[in-house]
Chains A and B, each alone.
Chain A
Amino acid sequence: MHHPAILETIDALGEITLLADSARIVDLCRYLKDQQKFNRICSITAVDWHPSEPRFEVVYHLHAVDPTPAKSIPAVRRLRVKCRVSGTNPEIDSVTSVWRGADWYERETFDMFGIGFRNHPNLIRILMPLDWEGYPLRKDYPTHGYKYSYKGEEAK
């Protein structure tokens, strides 16, 4: 796989990871879908490396599936793409234009980490209530939230 957006290819524990330039992620995803036949998005999530910088890693898991109905078992391939995103203004382009299935995963990542996906059609919270404060899966977010506290602890 050769694409200018690929910064590094890592092969660990039998899984291939591409480290990609976050500014050109849509370009790369379109190339992976059209040329490399990764026609299915398996999941999108993020990892928070607080307090180091760039703080977030957005992780895409792709899946190549033969889309023709057949009796024989299709050969499949998997690929992981990672992008580093800064913590001061976490934003990355949305890949919903490449795979429609990216929609809810990007909303979930926005909901949990507060990473904005530019050009997403409907970027609102999906799992948490719409008026929730904070992003629960960030490492600086307390497990019991900001609003409540356990017995003996002071409420924030």
Chain B
Amino acid sequence: MKQSLEDHVATIAALQEKPASPSAPRRMTLNMGPQHPSTHGVLRIVIELEGETIKKAEPDIGFLHTGIEKQCETINWAQTVTLTDRVDYLSNLGNNLVYALTVEKLLQLEIPPMAQWMRVMLAEIDRLNSHLVWLGTHALDIGAMSMFFYCFREREEVLRLKEMFSGQRMMTSYIRPGGLALEPPRGWQHAVGKFIRQFPGRVDEYENLLDNNPIWKNRTQGVGFISIEDMIDLGVTGPMIRAAGIPLDVRKTEPYSSYEKFDFTVPTYTENDVYSRYRVRLDEMRQSARIIVQALEGMPEGAWQANAPGVILPDREKMKTQMEALIYHFKIVTEGYRVPAGEVFQAVESPRGEIAYYAVSNGTSKAYRLHMRTPSFGNLQALPTLLHDTLIADSIAALGSMDFVLGDTDR
């Protein structure tokens, strides 16, 4: 059952030997990564080439494995939210959201509308962040260097917004079970409004920059095809499957956090190549901007946390004046809140696809098991199929179009 390291080395050595019959084409095994810049992190791919055509590609992952799922079993439910940030470091708020929804489902907590709308707005701001980083780095891989500077200009503004809300640029932990971590800061409407008014114009700018570029079109159109049947069989989600024409989006199919109250469409294309994946993400940025504007204009009044004294830390002022609040504070901070026994599965649409947490509670203040079904892990599984029979020069474009985050893959 268990394969030792020696066996694995022997397998690789056997692959590199000369073919049995002299007429069979000779294959070359090429190691790509884990430090290759276009693998966006630490992904290693063992590629077998016949001439310049990829005949086999075997991803080797796990270089960023940090044992987050094991760690979640040792700390309490309230502390775990900080670890979810670190899973997918380009979409922290999205990960906070799926964790919060999972725990709230177990606790059967009702979240006030203001907090729900705020969560939607923040998750969409983070989607912009992730897509901007993807667009900048993907264009950089293909050779359009200036895209990187334009995208990171807007990303900087997104990070400033995140800092304004939570005090952190990346690891925000702002969405927590029960609501939000802090009261939204004064003047957030102005800051978000200023950013979102100019953003659609910036997306048009990117479109002009890339769509009128013949090199970009030549390198992306008709590259990186993978059939719909293969994608569903292999469990691919997100922009990859939407670029093939299937409008699969958890925000629409199983709405959470009052997404059903927002007016937006799920962009789909049918070409199923790297170019259409770029178009899908570009359109998604426009749709996210639409959602943010709606959230800004229709933000309900009211509380930003649920009314659940045993779960949510009491107000600082009350803690100093009321005995009961002090006891709750002490209980939550020292032993954490208890979550009723049970198991739940909660899916959310992350910028990369379906992110789903499966939590098992045995009634204590720590998770008995928290499994993270991450989109990058599911999508990366399709890499051998995606790269099969493509040219090695196209592999960078095909690889980049998947938009995986290795922290998300390895957890």
Contacts and interface: CB of A to CB of B under 8 A. Distances in A.
Contact of A99 (B233, B244, B270, B411): B233
A137 B233 contact: no
Contact of B377 (A59, A104, A136): A104
Q: Tell me the interface secondary structure of chain A in the complex.
A: loop
B268 interface: yes
Contacts of B5: 129-131
B228 A69 contact: yes
Contacts of B4: 130-131
B344 A73 contact: no
A144 B365 CA distance: 21
Contact of A143 (B70, B232, B254, B345): B70
Contacts, number: 128
Nearest to A48: B369
Contacts of B229: 67
The B interface is mostly helix, strand or loop, or mixed, namely mixed
Interface size, A (range):
35 or more
Given A42-B356, A137-B70, A73 B247 contact: yes
Contact of A13 (B105, B356, B368): B105
Interface string A62-95: 0001111111111110101000000000000000
B74 A47 contact: no
Contact of B253 (A61, A74, A99, A127): A74
A41 interface: yes
Nearest to A101: B235
B360 interface: yes
Nearest to B269: A69
Nearest to A59: B358
A103 B244 CA distance: 23
Interface in B211-257: 228-230, 232-235, 244-249, 252-254
B3 A124 contact: yes
Contact of A78 (B1, B345, B369): B345
Q: How large is the interface on B (under 10, 10 to 19, 20 to 34, 35 or more residues)?
A: 35 or more
Interface in B130-172: none
Interface in B50-67: 61-62, 65, 67
Contacts of A136: 67, 70
A102 to B, nearest CB: 8
A124 B8 contact: yes
Interface of B: 1, 3-5, 8, 61-62, 65, 67, 69-71, 74, 105-106, 108, 228-230, 232-235, 244-249, 252-254, 266, 268, 270, 342-345, 347, 354, 356, 358, 360, 368-369, 371, 373, 377-378, 380-381, 410-411
17 contacts: A40-B232, A42-B235, A42-B354, A45-B371, A47-B368, A48-B369, A65-B248, A67-B246, A69-B245, A73-B253, A74-B246, A80-B345, A101-B233, A101-B381, A103-B381, A112-B69, A130-B3
Q: Which 5 A-B pairs have the closest CB atoms?
A: A69-B245, A101-B235, A43-B373, A127-B62, A45-B371
